[in-house]
């Protein structure tokens, strides 16, 4: 189909308007030949070339210069340069403008044009010379000055706002609804409270405070009080929360009945020392004690050896209890147990090998090896305060006390002569393996772990750097099945559960 459009012929090059390919050169000022020279100047007071990208450069602004010495200037940077420019930095500042503050800074070494030198040439037509001197390059930036209303303007605005608010409140009180009047009254009360000076309680605030109950506390304080009350009611040794080191959280003076005097009266410690020095195996009723007597004797720490003897005594005390305890009214108390007669209890606690099989007590203990009556009475008063019956609460206190005492026996006692209780432990923690105590107290793993958590310990796996400390020879596979209880400061106890939402 033929097209109706008329084709236009392309013009020839000769028909086009000829334009010059280059701009015509401007006529230079006729100057005679000049003699050029470079001024060798090492002063920091060099000429300044300023540029204001994005802002009009005003010649009426007066800049205040500030200079400081550059740090870490390399020798290569000063070669062929003005030492005064390289070793110092210049800053220009001007506040002459009504609304803009100008600040000019030199480029640092990371800038793209840091290696470019800038020069200023001074021409003298009479002498027919021109001199070139190195100059500084400064970029000037502008920042809009924040607008601050004067105090008089602010006061006038506040007065105008107050008058308008007063008129609106008066109009609301005259013609407004009941809900609008109540809203205006609430607004006025809030305004009075907010306008009170710092530290001064207004009349409305004083009335509000007087209407509150005297024992009103915040939610956080109330939660802390509840946490403290619950923690105090638990069958746990009393911790020292102001302690600076974990060894002082549960000191031996509070864990041991009658303190260090009881430790000094414990018997058969010399027998353990003689057997350990002869290389004989020491067998007791406690796996925890038997596995640690040898290293403690080698360390020479008498206090730790006495603590082991007390742990063995308390373990045997818990094992000799019999079920079927009754309260003061004669009814069976759930979870309570009965103690054996006094003489039998004395023979059981005095023996380091425990009771004989078949229900008969061991009678091979010499009279001089029997524990003093003061030690027996101290243990009875601490863990059986009601007489011959040990309640479930007292039995739990016995178990948690044994767990707290075990923290004072390090995994590898150091040869410190008894002057320190930190041997084998990290400087900021006490640690122990609960596995042996779990078997000694005949508890399951979850129960013994929960006892240590209630004491403020954290239960986790041994670190790879601690394999030799905890005698782990099976590598990561064995460490994955082991658990270690660690006590650190500040002590964190389990939080009180508030229950889920219904």
Q: Which of 90-104, 143-157, 310-324, 437-451 has the lowest mean pLDDT?
A: 143-157
Q: Hey, is 248 helix, strand or coil?
A: helix
Query: Is residue 29 situated within a structural domain?
Result: no
Do 135 and 256 lie in a common domain? no
Query: Is residue 232 situated within a structural domain?
Result: no
Dihedrals phi, psi of 234, to nearest 5 degrees: -75, 150
Non-local CB neighbours of 367 within 8 Å, separated by 6+ positions: none
Measure the CA angle with vertex 398, ends 392 and 403; round to 5°.
Answer: 130
For tokens 């000094």, what's the residue?
Answer: 264
Q: Which of 124-138, 352-366, 377-391, 445-459 has the lowest mean pLDDT?
A: 352-366
Do 135 and 255 lie in a common domain? no
- The CA distances from residue 256 to 260, 266, 379, 384, in Å, are 7, 12, 9, 15
Longest dimension (CA), the chain: 139
Q: Hey, is 464 helix, strand or coil?
A: helix
Q: Is 359 in contact with 433 (CB distance < 8 Å)?
A: no
Phi/psi region, residue 54 (left: phi>0; alpha: psi -120 to 50; beta: rest), is left
Identify the burial level of 366 via C-beta atoms within 10 angstroms of its C-beta, where 0-12 means exposed, 13-18 middle and 19 or more buried.
exposed
Dihedrals phi, psi of 313, to nearest 5 degrees: -65, -45
86-124 per-position pLDDT tens digit: 778 888 888 888 788 888 888 766 666 666 788 888 888
Confidence of residue 193 (pLDDT cuts 50, 70, 90): low
217-250 per-position pLDDT tens digit: 565 566 666 666 767 778 889 898 888 888 889 9
Note the pLDDT of residue 423: 47
Give a three-class secondary structure readout of 140-169.
EEEEECCCCCCHHHHHHHHHHHHHHHHHHH
Identify the residue with better confidence: 331 or 463.
463
Q: Hey, is 139 helix, strand or coil?
A: strand
Non-local CB neighbours of 308 within 8 Å, separated by 6+ positions: 289, 292, 293, 296, 409
Do 248 and 382 lie in a common domain? yes
> 48 - beta bridge partners?
136
- Is 415 a residue whose pLDDT tops 60? no
Picking from 123, 144, 165, the residue at the C-terminal end of a domain is: 144
Q: Which of 154-168, 333-347, 487-501 has the lowest mean pLDDT?
A: 154-168
Do 269 and 138 lie in a common domain? no
Q: How many CB atoms lie within 10 A of CB 68?
A: 9
Average pLDDT for residues 176-180, to the nearest whole number?
86
Average pLDDT for residues 482-495, to the nearest whole number?
88
- Is 186 a residue whose pLDDT tops 70? yes
Q: Is 310 in contact with 379 (CB distance < 8 Å)?
A: no
Report the alpha-carbon distance of residue 497 to residue 72 in Å, rounded: 60
| DSSP at 419 | S
How many domains, the chain? Answer: 2
234-291 per-position pLDDT tens digit: 888 989 888 888 888 999 999 999 888 989 988 888 888 888 888 888 888 899 999 8
Do 135 and 244 lie in a common domain? no
- Is 25 a residue whose pLDDT tops 70? no
The two three-digit tokens of residue 421, written as one number: 């209780």
Query: Is residue 73 situated within a structural domain?
Result: yes
Query: Is residue 169 situated within a structural domain?
Result: no
Report the alpha-carbon distance of residue 206 to residue 185 in Å, rounded: 17
Report the alpha-carbon distance of residue 194 to residue 8 in Å, rounded: 83
Report the alpha-carbon distance of residue 256 to residue 382 in Å, rounded: 9
Query: Is residue 193 situated within a structural domain?
Result: no
Q: Which contiguous run of DSSP H or E holds residue 260?
A: helix 260-264
> 135 - beta bridge partners?
118
Average pLDDT for residues 346-374, to the nearest whole number?
65
Confidence of residue 149 (pLDDT cuts 50, 70, 90): very low
Report the alpha-carbon distance of residue 69 to residue 73 in Å, rounded: 10
Query: DSSP labels for 4-66?
Result: -PPPPPPPPTTTSPP--SSPPPPPPP-----EEEE-----S---EEEE-TTS---TT--PEEE
Note the pLDDT of residue 150: 44
Picking from 106, 121, 144, the residue at the C-terminal end of a domain is: 144
Q: What is the mean pLDDT of the chain?
A: 77
Q: Is 312 in contact with 332 (CB distance < 8 Å)?
A: no
Picking from 112, 144, 176, the residue at the C-terminal end of a domain is: 144
Dihedrals phi, psi of 103, to nearest 5 degrees: -135, 125
Long-range contacts of range 108-111, CB-CB < 8 Å, 24 or more positions apart? 109/77
- The CA distances from residue 356 to 105, 308, 365, 438, in Å, are 92, 21, 12, 22
Identify the residue with better confidence: 397 or 44.
397
The two three-digit tokens of residue 301, written as one number: 């720490």
300-349 per-position pLDDT tens digit: 889 999 999 999 999 999 999 988 655 545 555 677 888 888 888 889 88
Query: Is residue 285 situated within a structural domain?
Result: yes
Confidence of residue 154 (pLDDT cuts 50, 70, 90): low
Average pLDDT for residues 74-96, to the nearest whole number?
77
Across 58-203, the runs of DSSP E, i.e. the strands, are: 64-69, 88-94, 100-106, 118-124, 129-144
Do 250 and 140 lie in a common domain? no
Report the alpha-carbon distance of residue 404 to residue 255 in Å, rounded: 8
Query: Is residue 202 situated within a structural domain?
Result: no
Give the closest residue to 345 by CA, choosing from 362, 364, 369: 362
Note the pLDDT of residue 417: 40
- Is 8 a residue whose pLDDT tops 80? no
Q: Which of 32-46, 112-126, 412-426 has the lowest mean pLDDT?
A: 412-426
48-72 per-position pLDDT tens digit: 888 878 777 677 788 888 888 877 7
What residues make up the domain containing 361? 240-488
Confidence of residue 82 (pLDDT cuts 50, 70, 90): confident
Report the alpha-carbon distance of residue 314 to residue 68 in Å, rounded: 75
Give me the percent of the chain exceeding a pLDDT of 70: 70
Query: Is residue 138 situated within a structural domain?
Result: yes
Do 140 and 272 lie in a common domain? no
Report the alpha-carbon distance of residue 271 to residue 146 in Å, rounded: 86
Average pLDDT for residues 465-490, to the nearest whole number?
87
Note the pLDDT of residue 313: 93
């Amino acid at each position: 189909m033929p097209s109706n459009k008329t084709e236009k012929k392309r013009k020839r090059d000769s028909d086009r308007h000829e334009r010059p390919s280059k701009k015509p050169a401007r006529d230079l000022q006729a100057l005679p030949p000049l003699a050029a020279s470079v001024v060798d100047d090492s002063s920091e007071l060099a000429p300044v070339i300023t540029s204001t990208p994005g802002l009009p450069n005003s010649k009426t602004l007066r800049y205040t210069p500030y200079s400081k010495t550059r740090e870490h200037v390399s020798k290569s940077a000063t070669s062929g340069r003005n030492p005064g420019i390289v070793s110092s930095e210049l800053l220009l500042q001007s506040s002459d403008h009504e609304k803009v503050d100008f600040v000019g800074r030199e480029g640092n070494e990371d800038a793209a044009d840091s290696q470019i030198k800038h020069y200023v040439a001074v021409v003298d037509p009479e002498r027919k010379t021109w001199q070139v001197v190195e100059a500084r390059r400064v970029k000037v930036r502008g920042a809009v000055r924040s607008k601050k209303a004067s105090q008089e303007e602010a006061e006038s605005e506040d007065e105008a706002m107050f008058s308008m608010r007063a008129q609106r409140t008066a109009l609301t009180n005259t013609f407004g609804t009941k809900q609008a009047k109540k809203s205006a009254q609430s607004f006025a009360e809030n305004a009075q409270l907010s306008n009170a000076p710092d530290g001064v309680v207004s009349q409305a605030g004083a009335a509000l405070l007087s209407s509150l109950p005297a024992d009103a506390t915040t939610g956080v304080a109330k939660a802390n009080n509840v946490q403290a009350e619950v923690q105090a009611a638990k069958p746990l040794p009393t911790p020292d929360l102001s302690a600076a080191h974990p060894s002082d959280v549960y000191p031996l003076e509070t864990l041991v009945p009658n303190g260090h005097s009881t430790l000094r009266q414990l018997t058969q410690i010399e027998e353990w020392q003689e057997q350990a020095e002869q290389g004989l195996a020491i067998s007791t009723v406690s796996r925890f004690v038997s596995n640690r007597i040898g290293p403690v004797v080698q360390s020479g720490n008498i206090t730790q050896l006495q603590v082991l003897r007390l742990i063995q005594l308390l373990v045997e005390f818990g094992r000799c209890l019999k079920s079927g305890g009754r309260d003061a009214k004669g009814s069976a108390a759930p979870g309570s147990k009965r103690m054996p007669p006094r003489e039998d209890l004395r023979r059981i606690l005095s023996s380091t090998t425990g009771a004989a099989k078949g229900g008969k007590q061991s009678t091979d203990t010499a009279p001089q090896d029997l524990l003093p009556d003061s030690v027996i009475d101290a243990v009875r008063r601490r863990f059986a305060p009601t007489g011959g019956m040990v309640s479930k609460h007292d039995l739990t206190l016995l178990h948690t006390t044994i767990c707290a005492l075990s923290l004072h026996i390090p995994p590898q006692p150091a040869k410190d002569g008894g002057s320190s209780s930190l041997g084998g432990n990290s400087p900021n923690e006490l640690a122990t393996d609960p596995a042996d105590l779990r078997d000694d107290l005949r508890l399951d793993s979850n129960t013994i772990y929960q006892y240590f958590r209630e004491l403020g310990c954290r239960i986790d796996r041994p670190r790879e750097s601690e394999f030799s400390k905890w005698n782990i020879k099976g590598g990561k596979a064995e460490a994955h099945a082991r658990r270690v209880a660690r006590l650190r400061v500040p002590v964190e106890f389990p939080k009180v559960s508030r229950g889920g939402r219904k």
